[in-house]
A and B are shown apart, each in its own frame.
Chain A
């Protein structure tokens, strides 16, 4: 299976993240799975005319394209011309190239939330009129229509995340290479289920604080960050706390909130990223699949039952009160 990788309007961070793939390294991992990189802008030797020649061979059909990976949103501005990002040396916009190449590929993979939904490249009034490949924010239809399918029949596979986890990308490519990723393996936003069927909340080391609503009030305190600090890990999809990042990390493990970077429009939370908006002191945006009244009832009950260990530790920058050992029997 061959892969052509284009970096469109984004930061290149998903490539930087994927290079952190652990054991085996990214190159061996793909090679062992029979995935061959036709060209990658950060990794291949070919530059300039050699690349243009390759793109022309793909367009002519001389090189069949198995997977087109697109990293970054597509800039459509100014005024629909796409000239905010030209593919250098070609005199054509990346918008134009993406539209030409996508229908030629067996599979189109959007690497990261920009390519999937527009992401941060479309933040703040969207100065470059950026969109995702098959979504514009949470609306179906990006530069490609909702009904677009790769030649093998899948919609654009949205490996969303800002950045994506290295394993999300490599496992998606390995599944495609072994013909083991079907339409039912994607969620409603075409994200691979293997990571999108989990919530960031799952495995979060702050779970016990969450259970008792023992909350951190400032970044650096170790309590739950949902009530005050903008954490949406209970609603955000991702297995970030099940398989960690860079060895042992995750956002919440490092003491800062989940901002749901795998979701469309996470870049516009309509409030400061690290603050929880509240109405009458009650956080808005409670877990989406739980009746609000039940949540409130459980929260007030668990708050009343919070052990001192948790209420004190929640507002400390490290554990101050240890779990007490069980009393010796007899």
Chain B
């Protein structure tokens, strides 16, 4: 195939709307453009409203990262008001958030990512029959077991957060419901059942043993459970080489609590860890259907270009930190947090991103259990925050898919400015004013495309390895 352009869409098993344009020559992608084709305008919806309305509206940006959005809004408002939550309240908010992230990682693996290996183009591979039996979309055993385990895990959210998605339980002062002793044992019971599922079916072994893996060789030797099946596929198809990243990673730090973060914040580039400093952060609008100036989100605007000018190709702005793109997500968090396996996989492609997610799933189980064990049923779970009259604040959290930031300015008791940068805004950003493509656009270059492929399967693996959430991306 030579000199052709492919427009790939509707791109499913990603959250929300995605279109990818590919220039193909010599059987490989020469350049890619990523379009987030849905604009709703949440940032402008919030203007002029009472600050607390952000807690109701921003979770509804996204049905899969709902608690992440809630948590970012909570932290932004707390920062604007100079308020700290009750420590036990912050710990419950972290537990609620960790349940969502764990459920998202599982849903990604079982429902979104693995079904691509059941496609007939792989019928001659030695792992094919087993993969179809396990992961066939809508019908395989793994999607059903996965949603059953996820449903049972989310009983913790029924208990602590009322419902999922779209809870109002997390507030700047803590959480609205104080768990008692019976909630504590019930939460532990749900977590133990989830552990049994992860160890028995997903990993086929001890989560602690998986989390203790330090080298890619030891990883590839893990041969049990659905994870073992994936690693067999990854070795056969060389998924480490497919869709490699820049090796620059960003994490805002997951689960901020009075005792510190569950997973630490920071920047990783050129094999070095630096503290998180967002003073050099801007959103570039050169290739987005947005008007206004390139600016820091604390002073940014959202003015859609109704003309949809020809030189732009997406509603997604392009975040750049000190002029550079950064990849975010589970692998970024685990690299920044200093996990030896993640560090060894840094800069890798599909394998690194998926292994980073599995590693984090194993580690998050322990984190959730620690948080549940730490519940003090007699403590205060809320230190009510006064309404914010004026102030500015940033809420920096980690969604399953990576760094999520809300920047708010309150004036005279009303929201005067609200800007959001979501994980996939980083990963699926368009080109910037210097024509530097975003992380996915870069990762897609060189991807092999077989003769006659209209929706290249390798492209699909790469796109889904990022676990994109398009509804968050533009918001």
Residues of A within 8 A of B (CB): 7, 9-17, 19-22, 25-28, 37, 39-52, 75, 77-79, 83-90, 120-121, 123-125, 127-128, 130, 162-163, 218-220, 244-257, 259, 261, 267, 271-275, 317-318
| Contact B176–A162 (Cβ < 8 Å) | no
Q: Is B222 an interface residue (CB 8 A)?
A: no
Q: Are B455 and A255 in contact (CB under 8 A)?
A: no
Return chain B residues, CB-CB under 8 Å to A44. Answer: 12-13, 137-138
Interface centre among B56, B143, B460 (most CB of A within 10 A): B56
What mask results when residues 42 to 58 of chain B are scored 1 for a CB within 8 Å of chain A, else 0?
Answer: 00111101101101110
Contact A130 B40 (CB under 8 A): yes
A248 to B, closest residue via Cβ: B158
Q: Give the residue name and chain of the B residue nearest to A30 (CB).
A: B138
Q: Which residue of A lies closest to B464 (CB)?
A: A47
Chain A CB count within 10 A is highest, among B15, B35, B60, B64, for B60
In the bound complex, residues from chain A placing their C-beta under 8 Å from that of B9 are: 48, 87-90
Residue of A nearest to B37 (CB): A86
Please tell me if the beta carbons of A246 and B45 are within 8 angstroms of each other in the complex: no
Which B residues lie within 8 Å of A219 (CB)? 168, 171, 173, 176, 382, 384
- Of the listed stretches B109-117, B270-278, B342-350, B393-401, chain A binds B109-117
* CA of A318 to CA of B166, assembled, Å: 24
* Closest residue on chain A to residue B305 by CB atoms: A78
A123 to B57, CA, bound (A): 9
| A13 neighbours in B (Cβ, 8 Å) | 60, 62-64, 66, 165-166
Q: Is B194 an interface residue (CB 8 A)?
A: no
Contacts of B168 in A (CB 8 A): 219, 251, 254, 256-257, 259, 273-274
* B157→A249 contact, CB < 8 A: yes
Partner among A43, A45, A48 whose Cβ is within 8 Å of the Cβ of B454: A48
Alpha-carbon gap, A312 to B53, bound state (A)? 29
Complex Cα distance, B170 from A191, in Å, reads 30
Most buried by B among A42, A87, A252, A267: A42
Chain A residues with CB below 8 A from B171, complex form: 219-220
Tell me which residues across on chain A come within 8 A of B7, comparing CB atoms.
88-89
**Once bound together, how far apart are the Cα atoms of A125 and B46, in whole Å?**
10
CA–CA, A17 and B107, complex, Å: 13
Residues of chain B within 8 A (CB-CB) of A37 are: 138
CA distance A219 to B385 in the complex (A): 10
Please report the C-alpha to C-alpha distance between residue A84 and residue B290 in the assembled complex, in whole angstroms.
12
CA distance A75 to B323 in the complex (A): 34
The 10 closest A-B pairs by CB, nearest first: A13-B63, A88-B9, A254-B162, A124-B45, A89-B9, A127-B41, A249-B158, A246-B158, A48-B455, A88-B19
Residues of B within 8 Å of A253, CB to CB, are 162, 177
- Complex contacts, B44 vs chain A, CB 8 Å: 124-125, 127
Max chain B C-beta neighbours (<10 A), residue from A41, A90, A130, A275: A41
Min CB–CB distance B119 → chain A (angstroms): 7
Give every chain B residue within 8 A of A120 (Cβ-Cβ).
57, 60
The complex places the Cα of A50 from the Cα of B460 at a distance, in Å, of 14
Taking the closest CB of chain A, its distance from the CB of B325, in whole angstroms, is 23
Q: How distant is the Cα of A2 from the Cα of B413 in the complex, in angstroms?
A: 50
Take A128-B39, A220-B382 as given contacts and tell me if A247 and B154 are in contact as well, using a CB distance cutoff of 8 Å: yes
Which residues of B lie under 8 Å from residue A256 when comparing CB positions?
162, 167-169, 176
B162: which A residues are within 8 A, CB to CB?
Answer: 245, 249-256
Interchain CB contact under 8 A, A162 and B158:
no
Closest B residue to A318 by CB, please name it.
Answer: B178
Chain B interface: which size bin? 35 or more
A273 touches B37 (CB 8 A): no
**B18 in the interface (beta carbon within 8 A):** yes
Q: Do A46 and B163 form a contact, CB below 8 Å, given A11-B60, A89-B7?
A: no
A-B residue pairs in contact (CB < 8 Å), sample of 22: A9-B38, A9-B40, A11-B62, A13-B166, A25-B148, A41-B10, A43-B137, A44-B13, A44-B138, A45-B138, A47-B12, A51-B10, A85-B39, A88-B10, A124-B57, A218-B382, A219-B384, A220-B176, A220-B177, A254-B162, A261-B166, A274-B168
Complex contact B13–A42 (CB within 8 A):
yes
Given contacts A218-B384, A246-B151, A249-B159, 4 further A-B contacts (CB under 8 A): A20-B147, A90-B10, A220-B178, A255-B162
User: Is the Cβ of A86 less than 8 Å from the Cβ of B176?
Assistant: no
Question: Do the beta carbons of A78 and B304 come within 8 Å of each other?
Answer: yes
A46 and B147 CA atoms in complex are apart in Å by: 20
| Cβ contacts B307-340/A at 8 Å (1 or 0 each) | 0100000010000000000000000000000000
B residues near A125, Cβ cutoff 8 Å: 44-45
CB pair A247–B159 under 8 Å, yes or no, is yes
**B161/A84 in contact, CB under 8 A:** no
Cβ contact within 8 Å between A128 and B143: no
Residues of A within 8 A of B308 (CB): 78, 83
Query: What is the minimal beta-carbon distance from B428 to any residue of chain A, in angstroms?
Result: 13
B451 at the interface (CB under 8 A from A): no
Contacts of A87 in B (CB 8 A): 9-10, 17, 37
Question: Cβ of A22 and Cβ of B455 under 8 Å apart?
Answer: no
Question: What CA separation (Å) do A85 and B304 show in the bound complex?
Answer: 13
Q: Which residues of A contact B126 (CB under 8 A)?
A: none
Q: Inside 8 A of A121's CB, which chain B residues have their CB?
A: 40
CB pair A11–B11 under 8 Å, yes or no, is: no
Chain B residues with Cβ below 8 Å from A10 are 63, 471
Q: In the complex, which residues of chain A have a beta carbon less than 8 angstroms from the beta carbon of B62?
A: 11-13
Query: Do A84 and B64 touch (CB < 8 A)?
Result: no
Q: B120-150: which residues lie under 8 A (CB-CB) from chain A?
A: 136-139, 143-144, 147-148, 150
What are the residues of chain A within 8 A of B47 when measuring CB–CB?
124
Partner of B381, one of A48, A50, A163, A317: A317
Contact B60 A78 (CB under 8 A): no
Say yes or no: B151 contacts A84, CB within 8 Å. Answer: no
Best-buried of A48, A51, A85 by chain B (most CB within 10 Å) = A48
* Chain A minimum-CB-distance residue to B171: A219
Chain A residues in 8 Å Cβ range of B116: 45
* Smallest Cβ-Cβ distance to B107: which chain A residue: A19
Taking the closest CB of chain B, its distance from the CB of A177, in whole angstroms, is 16
Chain B's nearest CB lies how many Å from the CB of A315? 12
Asked if B280 is at the interface of the complex by the 8 Å CB criterion, the answer is no
Question: What distance in Å separates the Cβ of B416 from its nearest Cβ neighbour in chain A?
Answer: 14
Question: How far, in whole Å, are A62 and B137 apart by their CA atoms in the complex?
Answer: 24
Question: Is the beta-carbon distance between A84 and B38 smaller than 8 angstroms?
Answer: yes
Question: A272 and B138: CB pair below 8 A?
Answer: no
Assuming the A-B contacts A11-B62, A127-B44, A163-B63, are A42 and B15 also in contact, with contact meaning beta carbons closer than 8 angstroms in the complex? yes
Interface residue? B439 (CB, 8 A): no
Tell me, in angstroms, the Cα distance from A90 to B61 when the chains sit together: 25
Residues of B within 8 Å of A7, CB to CB, are 16-17
Q: How far is the CA of A318 from the CA of B381 in the complex (A)?
A: 11
Q: Which B residues touch A46, using CB under 8 A?
A: 12
Contact assessment for A45 and B137 in the assembled complex, using a CB-CB cutoff below 8 Å: yes
Is B8 on the interface with A (CB-CB < 8 A)? yes
B306: interface (CB < 8 Å): yes
